[in-house]
Amino acid sequence: MKQRVLSILVDNTAGVLSRVAGLFSRRGYNIDSITAGVTADPKFTRMTVVASGDELILEQITNQLSKLVDVLDIKVLEPEKSVNRELLLVKVAATVEERQNVISIANVFRANIVDIGQKSLVIELTGTRNKLEAFISLLEGYEILELARTGLTGLSRGADDVRFLK
């Protein structure tokens, strides 16, 4: 089973996320990850959708998405031709004695400590999925109280395939 990352430019209208997600659910396709946010032009939203399936299913997903009225552009983000990142926030239980060890692990990954409490730390890390997984695996000796991930977001490299809309 392959995974495909799609960058979808849509009109920034009410219900557009529901219509895109509904397309997947109606056809029994799974969304591995979905992120969405307004672009530099507030009339448009960029969605990054990660889907899995065989080549036929992935082509069907792309073709069906292109038929939605709100969808203006779809790009397949090939790993070697795009920049993809994910955000992780993790709250780790840490006593005063453990705190420096957890901070040292975070520093190796260039993570940021965004909150320190009496018994916990909140760490922010951005990077590839592999980087985030490696970081989480190093925290296995500590109690993870809460964890939140954004899902993948990305853009193609360079300016050759940028679509300008009016």
Q: Look at residue 89 and tell me whether its pLDDT is greater than 90.
A: yes
Domains 2-76 and 83-153 alike in fold: yes
Looking at residue 119, the DSSP 8-state letter turns out to be S
User: Into which CATH architecture does domain 83-153 fall?
Assistant: 2-Layer Sandwich (3.30)
All structural domains of the chain with their residue ranges: 2-76, 83-153
Per-residue model confidence (pLDDT) at position 1: 87
pLDDT digits (tens, 9 = 90+) for 6-18: 999 999 999 999 9
Per-residue model confidence (pLDDT) at position 46: 96
pLDDT digits (tens, 9 = 90+) for 36-70: 999 999 999 999 999 999 999 999 999 999 999 99
Distance of CA 111 to the CA centre of its chain: 17
Neighbours of 60 (CB within 10 A): 14
Cβ 155 vs Cβ 83: under 8 Å: yes
- Closest to 164 measured CA to CA, from 75, 73, 84: 73
β-pairing, 82-93 with 44-53? unpaired
82 has which bridge partners?
Answer: 156
Per-residue model confidence (pLDDT) at position 127: 97
Per-residue model confidence (pLDDT) at position 166: 57
β-pairing, 82-93 with 71-76? unpaired
- Closest to 103 measured CA to CA, from 113, 115, 88: 113
| Class of CATH domain 2-76 | alpha beta
